[in-house]
């Protein structure tokens, strides 16, 4: 099978408008004859479900939380990008496009990224119209802040809770459609499988998490808006429930998985404190606007700090190494995430880390407080500082924060074409669940933008084209394909519940996380990856023999839910490692130790790796097949990324 990304012909700036014109439309009276299934109601899913329902389609929406308002999107802190150029600082659609392509280390499609930049401006308009209370200046107009990888201020925000406000906006639009009867909402439901008939996606099988009922839902198309898979690392900044199950089941039904090894490790998170740790907490990138990152100049000073002989404030300016400012004078503390993370790791590896564990660097606000006053700093970042103090019991107004990188986001995901359709006709992927726009590294404040772009402004157009082509003939949930899928789901659950070994599901998850972090984390090499493959494969086999799963199916059973998700992570982990192994170049967040510049930066190999790796599932325990989608750059010149 050859991958066709379906990027429209023509000049970059005209592709999307031309494409929109060429897409088939569904006549308004016919829309109500179609049912669309939307799995996931985070930013991508809620915006898609609401917008499609407004157009007249019937929508069935699903989430595993008790309410759509609790999707992981709620936790996004810093902001959302848009090329509004309200600051008159030289921003434009083209600049946002360029920054995103470059930030992604030239491993994303030009056409998709340009469209994203184009619709970014509409997103802000839409959210304001819904009543999202973005930060304002005294004159009453919208305020912006700066994020990494950009030299303009284009990030819109609502204190440190931008994701919450955007999600509540999308949730309100969704609620309006639920009230109108156009969306039927199924909370506390987990999608367990995709159902295809004659090769087309026609519905899903779900488990009601309260009763355990296995149910079929039929529709004309299925949209997976199920978020990222960062929790494969066990410790990450993701919410506890984030998982790969929906995407993975779709993968097993024929949807290719793209660039699975592209993981974002966020530089500013609160360091691990002990083995009880269940998740890591992000300190928003926006803090790097005013916070300065440093470690002591020497190992000796670092050692004294660690054992409490001296305090950070005792260190004179000349004894501090503001390593990002030193190495990257033009971007300074605002270099992209992958660069900032790798540098922090380097400092720690050199023995210059701080905190009792030595696995941390400082993020210092002393200068900002001197310059702006504590009140202004509190106004800008108050809730983040409070969060930090709550967790660490240290006051960041008085002493520098300790931070360290943590897994945060997954650029990889289901392969989709320009229309957001996967390799299974009628099956779409939106938001973090797809791979499309961020290449090998995502810029801060661009995930919210992409989720809402997909849901509000892309899928309402592209889905119509497909629906018009298949026609409104009803789909029957009693079709044998549904019965067959239900049977398989039930068998899978039964098998999980039959596991009565010695180790808990969490133990397996934690072990998998260790393997992934150790060998497929911030730095990767061939030997380590080969080892990781063996370890994961052995761990997976052990899981299916020695794990212990409690309770029964016919009840709320959080242990069973977790077991089912971990089982999928154990399969995904191996594919991530395989993908990392095959890509022998470094690019963005994927750092192959074998491929670096003299200065230790990621070194791409454009001659051999300018492609999207799309993996095809071939059956249990069979190696997956790699398909390559060549990336074509007609508008930007590929250069070694430099933030100096």
Ligand X SMILES: Cc1cc2nc3c(=O)[nH]c(=O)nc-3n(C[C@H](O)[C@H](O)[C@H](O)COP(=O)(O)OP(=O)(O)OC[C@H]3O[C@@H](n4cnc5c(N)ncnc54)[C@H](O)[C@@H]3O)c2cc1C
CB atoms within 10 A of CB 554: 11
Contact yes or no for 257/575 (Cβ under 8 A):
yes
User: Does 243 interact with ligand X (rule: CB under 6 A)?
Assistant: yes
Contact yes or no for 499/547 (Cβ under 8 A):
yes
DSSP line for 432-445: GGB--S-TTSPPTT
CB of 160 to other proteins, least distance (A): 9
Closer CB to ligand X, 56 or 382, in the complex: 382
Among 58, 120, 144, 162, binds ligand X (CB under 6 A): 162
Choose the contact partner of 190 out of other proteins, ligand X, none; CB within 5 to 8 A by kind. ligand X
User: Does 104 interact with ligand X (rule: CB under 6 A)?
Assistant: no
Among 26, 38, 185, 191, binds ligand X (CB under 6 A): 191
Which tokens go with 67? 């309410």
Choose the contact partner of 44 out of ligand X, other proteins, none; CB within 5 to 8 A by kind. ligand X
Residue of 69, 107, 109, 337 with catalytic role: 337
Closer CB to other proteins, 556 or 593, in the complex: 556
Please list every residue from 1 through 60 that binds ligand X, using CB under 6 A.
Answer: 39-45
CB of 228 to ligand X, least distance (A): 6
Choose the contact partner of 556 out of ligand X, other proteins, none; CB within 5 to 8 A by kind. other proteins
CB of 247 to ligand X, least distance (A): 8
Choose the contact partner of 240 out of ligand X, other proteins, none; CB within 5 to 8 A by kind. other proteins
User: Does 447 interact with ligand X (rule: CB under 6 A)?
Assistant: yes
CB of 168 to ligand X, least distance (A): 13
CA distance 163 to 72: 9
CB of 238 to ligand X, least distance (A): 5
Closer CB to other proteins, 7 or 183, in the complex: 183
CB of 337 to other proteins, least distance (A): 19
Contact yes or no for 454/413 (Cβ under 8 A):
no
Between the alpha carbon of residue 21 and those of residues 16, 207, 320, 403, 541, the distances in Å are: 9, 40, 58, 49, 51
Among 225, 295, 302, 369, binds ligand X (CB under 6 A): 225
Which tokens go with 109? 């499609």
Question: First vs last Cα of the chain: how many Å apart?
Answer: 42
Contact yes or no for 231/566 (Cβ under 8 A):
no
CA 370 to chain centre: 36
Please list every residue from 351 through 410 that binds ligand X, using CB under 6 A.
Answer: 408-409
Report the chain's C-alpha Rg in angstroms. Answer: 24
CA distance 27 to 30: 5
Among 99, 110, 118, 190, binds ligand X (CB under 6 A): 190
User: Does 163 interact with ligand X (rule: CB under 6 A)?
Assistant: yes
Among 5, 37, 38, 63, binds ligand X (CB under 6 A): 63
The contact pattern for ligand X, residues 268-297, with x = CB under 6 A and - = no contact, is: --------------x---------------
| Residue closest to 514 by CA, chosen among 528, 527, 499 | 528
Which tokens go with 361? 């660097």
Closer CB to ligand X, 118 or 437, in the complex: 437
| Sign of the CA dihedral running 478, 481, 484, 490 | negative
Residues 6+ apart with CB under 8 A from 348: 358, 359, 360, 361, 404
Closer CB to other proteins, 7 or 532, in the complex: 532
Phi, psi of 12 (to 5 degrees): -45, -50
Contact yes or no for 507/513 (Cβ under 8 A):
no
Phi, psi of 613 (to 5 degrees): -90, 115
CA distance 560 to 618: 27
Choose the contact partner of 246 out of ligand X, other proteins, none; CB within 5 to 8 A by kind. ligand X
Among 77, 196, 333, 436, binds ligand X (CB under 6 A): 77
Between the alpha carbon of residue 516 and those of residues 154, 569, 570, 575, 580, the distances in Å are: 34, 11, 10, 11, 11
CB of 154 to other proteins, least distance (A): 13
Q: Which stretch binds ligand X (CB under 6 A): 254-262, 332-340, 343-351, 430-438?
A: 430-438
User: Does 75 interact with ligand X (rule: CB under 6 A)?
Assistant: yes
Choose the contact partner of 162 out of other proteins, ligand X, none; CB within 5 to 8 A by kind. ligand X
Where b means 16+ CB within 10 Å and e means fewer, 320-355 reads bbbbbeebbeebbbbbbbbbbbbbbbbbbeeebbbb
Choose the contact partner of 227 out of ligand X, other proteins, none; CB within 5 to 8 A by kind. ligand X
CB of 73 to ligand X, least distance (A): 3
DSSP line for 288-340: GGT-EEEEESSHHHHHHHHTTSS-GGGS-GGGEE-HHHHH-TTTGGGS-HHHH
Choose the contact partner of 130 out of ligand X, other proteins, none; CB within 5 to 8 A by kind. other proteins
Q: Please report which residue ranges of 144-185 form alpha helices under DSSP H.
A: 162-179
User: Does 416 interact with ligand X (rule: CB under 6 A)?
Assistant: no
Contact yes or no for 253/424 (Cβ under 8 A):
yes
Closer CB to other proteins, 234 or 418, in the complex: 234
Q: Which stretch binds ligand X (CB under 6 A): 220-228, 291-299, 310-318, 606-614?
A: 220-228
* DSSP annotation of 523: S
User: Does 264 interact with ligand X (rule: CB under 6 A)?
Assistant: no
User: Does 64 interact with ligand X (rule: CB under 6 A)?
Assistant: yes
CB of 372 to other proteins, least distance (A): 17
User: Does 72 interact with ligand X (rule: CB under 6 A)?
Assistant: yes
CA distance 285 to 81: 13
Four-point Cα dihedral 308, 313, 319, 320, nearest 10: 100
User: Does 73 interact with ligand X (rule: CB under 6 A)?
Assistant: yes
Choose the contact partner of 128 out of other proteins, ligand X, none; CB within 5 to 8 A by kind. other proteins
Q: Catalytic site residue 337? A: yes
| Residue closest to 40 by CA, chosen among 58, 65, 74, 75 | 65
Among 49, 71, 124, 414, binds ligand X (CB under 6 A): 71
State the catalytic residues.
337
Chain positions contacting ligand X, by CB under 6 A: 39-45, 62-65, 71-73, 75-80, 162-163, 190-191, 225-228, 237-238, 242-243, 245-246, 282, 408-409, 431-433, 445-448, 451
């Amino acid at each position: 099978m050859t991958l066709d990304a379906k990027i429209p012909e023509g000049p970059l700036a005209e592709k999307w408008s031309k494409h929109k014109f060429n897409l088939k439309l569904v006549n308004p009276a016919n829309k109500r004859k179609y049912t669309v299934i939307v799995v996931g109601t985070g930013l991508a899913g809620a915006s898609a479900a609401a917008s499609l329902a407004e157009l007249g389609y019937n929508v069935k929406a699903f989430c595993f939380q008790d309410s759509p308002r609790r999707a992981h999107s709620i936790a996004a802190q810093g902001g959302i990008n848009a090329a509004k150029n309200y600051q008159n600082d030289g921003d434009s659609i083209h600049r946002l496009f360029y920054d995103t392509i470059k930030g992604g280390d030239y491993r994303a499609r030009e056409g998709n990224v340009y469209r994203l930049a184009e619709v970014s401006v509409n997103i802000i308009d839409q959210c304001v119209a819904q009543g999202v209370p973005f930060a304002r200046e005294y004159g009453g107009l919208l305020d912006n802040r700066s994020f990494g990888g950009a030299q303009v201020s284009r990030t819109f925000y609502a204190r440190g809770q931008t994701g919450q406000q955007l999600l509540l906006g999308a949730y309100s639009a969704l609620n309006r459609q639920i009230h109108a009867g156009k969306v039927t909402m199924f909370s506390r439901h987990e999608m367990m499988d995709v159902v295809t008939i004659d090769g087309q996606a026609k519905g899903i099988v779900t488990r009601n998490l309260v009763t355990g009922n296995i149910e079929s839902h039929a529709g004309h198309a299925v949209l997976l808006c199920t978020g990222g898979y960062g929790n494969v690392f066990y410790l990450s900044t993701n919410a506890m429930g984030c998982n790969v199950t929906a995407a993975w089941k779709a993968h097993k039904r024929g949807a290719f998985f793209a660039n699975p090894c592209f993981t974002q490790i966020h530089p500013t998170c609160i360091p691990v404190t002990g083995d009880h740790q269940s998740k890591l907490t992000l300190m928003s990138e926006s803090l790097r606007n005013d916070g300065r990152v440093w470690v002591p100049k020497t190992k000796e000073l670092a050692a004294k700090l660690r054992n409490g002989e001296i305090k950070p404030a005792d260190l004179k300016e000349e004894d501090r190494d503001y390593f990002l400012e030193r190495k990257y004078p033009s971007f300074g503390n605002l270099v992209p995430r992958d660069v900032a993370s790798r540098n922090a790791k380097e400092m720690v590896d050199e023995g210059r880390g701080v905190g009792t564990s030595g696995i941390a660097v400082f993020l210092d606000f002393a200068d900002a407080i001197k310059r702006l006053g504590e009140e202004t700093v509190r106004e800008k970042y108050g809730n983040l500082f409070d969060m930090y103090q709550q967790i660490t019991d240290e006051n960041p107004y008085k002493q520098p924060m300790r931070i360290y990188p943590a897994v945060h986001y997954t650029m990889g995901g289901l392969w989709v074409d320009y229309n957001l359709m996967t390799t299974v006709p009628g099956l779409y992927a939106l938001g973090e669940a797809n791979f499309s726009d961020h290449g090998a590294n995502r810029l801060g404040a661009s995930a919210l933008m992409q989720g809402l772009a997909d849901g509000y402004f892309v899928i309402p157009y592209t889905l119509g084209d497909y629906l018009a082509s298949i026609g409104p003939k009803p789909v029957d949930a009693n079709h044998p394909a549904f019965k067959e899928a239900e049977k398989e789901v039930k068998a899978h659950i039964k098998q999980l519940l039959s596991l009565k070994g010695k180790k808990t599901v969490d133990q397996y998850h934690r072990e998998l996380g260790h393997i992934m972090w150790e060998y497929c984390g911030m730095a990767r090499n061939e030997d380590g990856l080969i080892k990781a493959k063996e370890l994961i494969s052995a761990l997976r086999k052990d899981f299916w023999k020695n794990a212990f799963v409690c309770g029964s199916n016919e009840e709320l059973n959080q242990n069973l839910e977790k077991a089912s998700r971990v089982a999928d992570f154990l399969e995904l982990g191996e594919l991530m490692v395989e993908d990392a192994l095959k890509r022998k170049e470094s690019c963005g967040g994927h750092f192959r130790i074998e491929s670096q510049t003299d200065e230790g930066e990621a070194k791409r190999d454009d001659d051999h790796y300018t492609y999207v790796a799309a993996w095809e599932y071939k059956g249990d325990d069979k190696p997956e097949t790699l398909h390559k989608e060549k990336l074509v750059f007609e508008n930007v010149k590929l250069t070694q990324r430099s933030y100096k």
